[in-house]
């Protein structure tokens, strides 16, 4: 029988308590009885690697992941070079805080002016635009993952590909399904490239059960992130993530599939939502823990 007080696998992704420093998040997670935290890079960079690592150790926490690397779809030489350099820095940061996984949001089309921004105009007098070529963008992701794998392996960090909901294919991730992520991961050793199941992004996928099983069978099921899908969508759809149990996601079923695929790692709660961010973070942590206990833990 599952112990309802067992939070040994529950991890706080630091964007859930947006506005807290890494020290605040670590202290809050430890006070809530958590054993893990998933920092975002800007918090690690604010403190520096040595201090960030010490903060986690002082609070008895492990790093479940580091968010995020990626944005690999640029089609000009300078942007490609900058992207690869930034991802190598992210790999070093993950290794420096003891995070075994670097979450990779692979990037949208070069036609996007910015995440959530308007499209750049077509070239003058052109009927087609390479910056809108989705197939080519995915091919560039494959090429750049291949360039990064040896560096990640050297630092003992696994690159973890995250499929995002198709809403974000234009500006954030040209990988939309778990199957696409696994296809990109397949050429590489499982210990160097894995995938993450994020319920907000993949709950709708009619092939989800089969692809979770495939990820487990091939040793690529590297991370499990949970939050709910809320309607109506926020003006920024990315901020329509909500507390587990407040929306449409079937956590019992998806968690059972993840469990049956052999996953035994951390369960990271990652929420982007202004109302949640406006709530006192201690209250957010209490709600997060209660919802995990009710909707996720019984099925792990």
CATH entry 3.20.20.70 includes domain 11-112+132-299: no
* Pick from 145, 144, 143, 160: nearest CA to 67: 160
* Helix, strand, or coil (residue 128): coil
Please state the separation of Cα 3 from the chain's center in Å.
27
Q: Which of 187, 173, 37 is nearest to 104 (CA)?
A: 173
Q: Encode burial over 37-46: b for 16+ CB neighbours within 10 A, e otherwise.
A: bbbbbebbee
DSSP code of residue 26: H
Q: Give 125's pLDDT tier (boundaries 50, 70, 90).
A: confident
Query: 11-50, pLDDT tens digit by residue?
Result: 999 999 999 999 999 999 999 999 999 999 999 999 999 9
| Mean pLDDT value across residues 202-209 | 98
Q: Mutual orientation of helices 178-185 and 134-154 as an angle, nearest 10°?
A: 50
- pLDDT greater than 60 at residue 91: yes
Q: Mean pLDDT, the chain, as a whole number?
A: 96
Q: Which of 179, 64, 65, 172 is nearest to 113 (CA)?
A: 172
Over pLDDT 90: what percentage of the chain?
96
Which pLDDT band, with edges at 50, 70 and 90, does 5 fall under?
confident
Helix (H, G, I), strand (E, B) or coil at 69: strand
Kindly tell me if the per-residue pLDDT of 156 is higher than 80.
Answer: yes
The arithmetic mean of pLDDT across residues 90-95, rounded, is 98
Q: Give me 184's structure tokens.
A: 């990109």
In this prediction, residue 2 has a pLDDT band, given cuts at 50, 70 and 90, of low
pLDDT band for position 124 (cuts 50, 70, 90): confident
Q: Is the peptide bond before 68 cis (omega within 30 degrees of 0)?
A: yes
pLDDT in tens, 185-200: 999 999 999 999 999 9
What's the rounded mean pLDDT across residues 252-260?
Answer: 98
Q: Give the position of tokens 């909901």.
A: 165
How deeply is 217 buried, as exposed, middle or buried, from its count of CB atoms within 10 A (0-12, 13-18, 19+)? exposed
The alpha carbon of 163 is separated from its chain's Cα centroid by a whole number of angstroms, namely: 9
- pLDDT, residue 127, reads 82
Q: DSSP string covering 192-250, please?
A: TEEEEEEHHHHTT-TTHHHHHHHHHHTT-EEEEEE-EE-SSPPSSGGGGEE-TTSSS--
For residues 62-84, b (16+ Cβ closer than 10 Å) or e, as one string? bbbbbbbbbbbbbeeeeebeebb
Tell me: pLDDT of 4 over 80: no
What is the pLDDT, as a whole number, of residue 126? Answer: 78
Domain ranges of the chain: 11-112+132-299
Q: What is the pLDDT of residue 1?
A: 46
């Amino acid at each position: 029988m599952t112990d309802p007080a067992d939070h040994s696998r529950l991890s706080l992704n630091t964007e859930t308590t947006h506005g807290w420093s890494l020290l605040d998040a670590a202290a809050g997670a430890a006070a809530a009885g958590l054993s893990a935290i998933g920092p975002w890079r800007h918090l690690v960079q604010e403190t520096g690697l040595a201090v960030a690592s010490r903060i986690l150790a002082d609070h008895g926490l492990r790093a479940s992941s580091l968010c995020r690397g990626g944005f690999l779809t640029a089609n000009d030489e300078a942007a490609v070079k900058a992207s690869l350099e930034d991802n190598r820095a992210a790999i070093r940061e993950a290794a420096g805080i003891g995070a075994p996984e670097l979450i990779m949001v692979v990037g949208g089309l070069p036609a996007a002016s910015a995440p959530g921004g308007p499209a750049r105009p077509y070239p003058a007098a052109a009927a087609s635009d390479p910056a809108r070529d989705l197939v080519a963008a995915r091919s560039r992701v494959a090429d750049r993952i291949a360039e990064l794998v040896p560096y990640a392996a050297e630092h003992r960090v696994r690159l973890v590909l995250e499929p995002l909901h198709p809403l974000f294919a234009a500006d954030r991730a040209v990988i939309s399904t778990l199957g696409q992520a696994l296809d990109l991961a397949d050429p590489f050793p499982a210990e160097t490239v894995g995938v993450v199941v994020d319920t907000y992004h993949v709950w709708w996928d009619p092939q989800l059960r089969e692809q979770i099983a495939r990820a487990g069978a091939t040793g690529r099921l590297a991370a499990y992130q949970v939050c709910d899908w809320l309607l109506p969508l926020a003006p920024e759809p990315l901020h329509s993530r909500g507390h587990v149990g407040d929306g449409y996601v079937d956590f019992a079923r998806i968690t059972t599939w993840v469990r049956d695929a052999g996953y035994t790692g951390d369960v990271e709660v990652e929420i982007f939502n202004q109302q949640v961010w406006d709530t006192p973070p201690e209250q957010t942590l209490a709600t997060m823990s209660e919802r995990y206990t009710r909707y996720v833990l019984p099925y792990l």
